Amino acid sequence: MTAKHRRAPSTPPPPLLSDVGIPKRMKPTVTSVFVLALALSPAVLIGAHASEGVAKLPVMGFNTWNAYHCNISEDIVIKNANLMISLGLADAGYNYVNIDDCYAAKQRNSDGDIVANQTKFPSGMKTLTDNIHALGLNAGIYSDAGWFTCQLYPGSYQNEARDAKLFQDEWGFDYLKYDNCAVPFDNITRENIMGRYARMANAISDLSKSTGKPPLILSLCEWGREQVWLWGKRYGQSWRTAGDLVPFWKSVAFIINQNSFYSWASDFYGHNDMDMLQIGNGNLTYEESKTHFTAWALMKSPLLIGTDVETASNQTIEILTNREIIAINQDPVVGTGVTPFRWGINPDYISNNTHPAQYWSGESQNGTVFMLINTLDEPATMFFNLTESPWIRAGIQYSVRDLWAHSNNGTAVRNFTAYNVPPHGVVALLLQDAGDEPEGLWPPCAVTWWCVSQSGIIIV
Ligand code: GAL
């Protein structure tokens, strides 16, 4: 989907804070005080973004941070953008090229605008986004809801409208990642994190209304603070649910565990962001990288490649372009992701950062998705009864598609066993209705709880 083809807003967004006029002669009755309170409350923004119709599905693309940190330049950005095309990543769905922190000069100019660092980006941001768009890709930029970014470049606090306009109108970006460092004093903000993000959401929405362009996609990056999964969807299209992912298994397992508690919150137009991918970085093994990719994709996180794609191994590209896994992430019919149905080596509903939930399932347009994660340091056999998942029907047998082996794996009747799952490895399955289960199975109910014949005989 290119910038040009992004869907225009289908219905006008509801009034935002700045639109809510307060009648001049309103008498201070109980009702009017209530109306006034509503008008001044950030809750007025509820639904503002959802009706604006951008980023229905998790954003896929590339981001500079994990691979380059502050060592970025226009050459690096354009190199990776070109490789996205030549390596088939764009074809697989990765269509955003996003610049992270450190692109700016340390000071705003005398007009008060952020300026791009002229050594790193000598051609200027507009030329860069023109080049990215010419490849059929979209472009993303970065700022912060405080005085400075996390690397102490200018933040957007109190400059939200000016910066939104610069990013979208003058520089031509389509997407904004918005960080949470360098927070102003309480006696200046009189707000919480949500309030500071509402300021930018408002600015983006106002700008979109005045230009008629689709709004900048807003990616909230405040590391899961203040239970963002409860309110992130009011303001943006994705929200980080945890701190930074680093390229080690312990960190992957930690974020899977964190996200398991809010995995229900991802749906169309609003996604838990588990952080940018570390596949291709650090010491993640092949099996760990597959688990990382599967968990992020099936929990409907944005998928932003965070490695130098020029030096990426074939295995890295193979993992990133697993179309059967991507198809679940980008399912246009079912927006929700997988959630745990059993916790595995811990009792149910108990997990820890080393041993997150192991047994997950969810819906998709083509069948029921299962994800099994072996959190142990040794191979494991993993077994489950199909009806442990709510998305399975009793009395039906299921064909099994292995989304990593890319093979059909027979028919599952009532249960499934995965043998020898490697340490920290994953099994991803798509189960499809294969008709009634064979006659005469015993017991006559797969779930042997209150299984009773029509004449009242308790079977088990
Ligand atoms: C962090 C953020 C990272 C990266 C970094 C840049 O707060 O979580 O993803 O953007 O700031 O300084």
Residues 146 and 187 in one domain: yes
pLDDT at 460: 78
pLDDT at 30: 34
H or E element that contains 376: none
Q: Of 330, 348, 370, which one is at a domain's C-terminal end?
A: 330
In a domain, 20, yes or no: no
DSSP 133-185: HHTT-EEEEEEESSSB-TTSSB--TT-HHHHHHIIIIIS--SEEEEE--SPPP
| Options 100, 101, 179, 331, the catalytic residue | 179
Q: Confirm or reject: Cβ of 101 under 6 Å from ligand 1.
A: yes
Residues 270 and 404 in one domain: no
Strands 96-98 and 138-144: parallel
The CATH number for 182's domain is 3.20.20.70
Residues 80 and 125 in one domain: yes
Q: Tell me: the pLDDT tens digits for 230-242?
A: 999 999 999 999 9
The CATH number for 370's domain is 2.60.40.1180
Q: Which atom of ligand 1 is found nearest the CA of 142?
A: 10
Residues 295 and 343 in one domain: no
Q: Tell me: the pLDDT tens digits for 275-288?
A: 999 999 999 999 99
Sheet containing strand 217-220, edge to edge, reads: 271-273, 238-240, 217-220, 175-179, 138-144, 96-98, 60-63, 303-305
The boundaries of the domain holding residue 393 are 339-436
Q: Confirm or reject: Cβ of 100 under 6 Å from ligand 1.
A: yes
Q: Of 330, 362, 381, which one is at a domain's C-terminal end?
A: 330
Residues 377 and 263 in one domain: no
Residues 230 and 270 in one domain: yes
Residues 265 and 405 in one domain: no
pLDDT at 42: 38
Residues 378 and 425 in one domain: yes
Q: Give the pLDDT band of residue 9 (cuts 50, 70, 90).
A: very low
Residues 314 and 391 in one domain: no
Q: What's the Cα-to-Cα distance from 411 to each of 126, 388, 408, 414, 427, rounded to whole Å?
A: 54, 17, 9, 10, 16
**Total of domains in the chain:** 2
Sheet containing strand 339-342, edge to edge, reads: 339-342, 359-364, 367-373, 426-436, 396-402, 407-412
pLDDT at 12: 34
Q: Confirm or reject: Cβ of 179 under 6 Å from ligand 1.
A: yes
Residues 220 and 368 in one domain: no
pLDDT at 268: 98
Would residue 273 show up in a list of annotated catalytic residues for this protein?
A: no
- d(C-alpha 24, C-alpha 37), whole Å: 16
Would residue 244 show up in a list of annotated catalytic residues for this protein?
A: yes
